[in-house]
Amino acid sequence: MSVSLYQVSVAPFIAELKIVSKLLTKGLEHVKGDESALIDARIIEDMQPLTYQIQRISDTAKGLAVRMGKVEPVAMADEEKTFPELQERIAKTIAVLESVDPKSFEGIEDKEVILVTRGGEQKFTGLSYVNTFAIPNFYFHMCMVYAILRKEGVPVGKMDYLGKN
């Protein structure tokens, strides 16, 4: 049995975004609805805040859907300032991923993928884009969300991160 790029990226990203949503809910419960205590929280001063981490999770997932799944780009301004806005962005991102046809990922392992960043252009094959950029970048920012919440005293643990709670 072969495993598709869809199975190792889109499907887990949907599941992980639902976990991020639950982590945010626990965070908001912990601060008793005063989201100002968490919205701009960061692990260290020179790091980007919680909102940024969620925006990057979203952008990485949407970028994968566009570059690999042939989905039309969906613009989302990085303007979220509240937990409901962050939750809405997560829900919209899940909807984008759910619109991806798994068959669109078939036979694209060698497709050229060009990622344009502030640092310039990066070229990948479909396989290398998924394995060396999209997946690591997605999980890096997801880990930062978890770590920021833990640092702020939100009672989340490994089982929450794994989606078992």
pLDDT tens-digit readout, 24-36? 999 999 999 899 9
**Encoded amino acid at 20, one letter:** V
Any residues with CB less than 8 A from the CB of 86 and at least 6 apart, and which?
24, 51, 54, 80
Class of domain 5-161: mainly alpha
What's the whole-model pTM score? 0.94
Four-point Cα dihedral 66, 71, 76, 81, nearest 10: -90
Show the beta-strand stretches assigned E in the chain.
112-117, 120-125
Residue 56: how many other CB atoms lie within 10 Å:
19
pLDDT digits (tens, 9 = 90+) for 58-95: 999 999 999 999 999 999 999 999 999 999 999 999 99
* Share above pLDDT 70 across residues of the chain, in percent, rounded to a whole number: 99
Give the span between the Cα atoms of 60 and 66, in whole angstroms.
Answer: 10
Any residues with CB less than 8 A from the CB of 28 and at least 6 apart, and which?
35, 38, 83
Q: What is the pLDDT at residue 110?
A: 95
Predicted confidence (pLDDT) at residue 37 exceeds the cutoff of 90: no
- pLDDT confidence band for 165 (50 / 70 / 90): confident
Predicted confidence (pLDDT) at residue 104 exceeds the cutoff of 80: yes
Any residues with CB less than 8 A from the CB of 29 and at least 6 apart, and which?
none
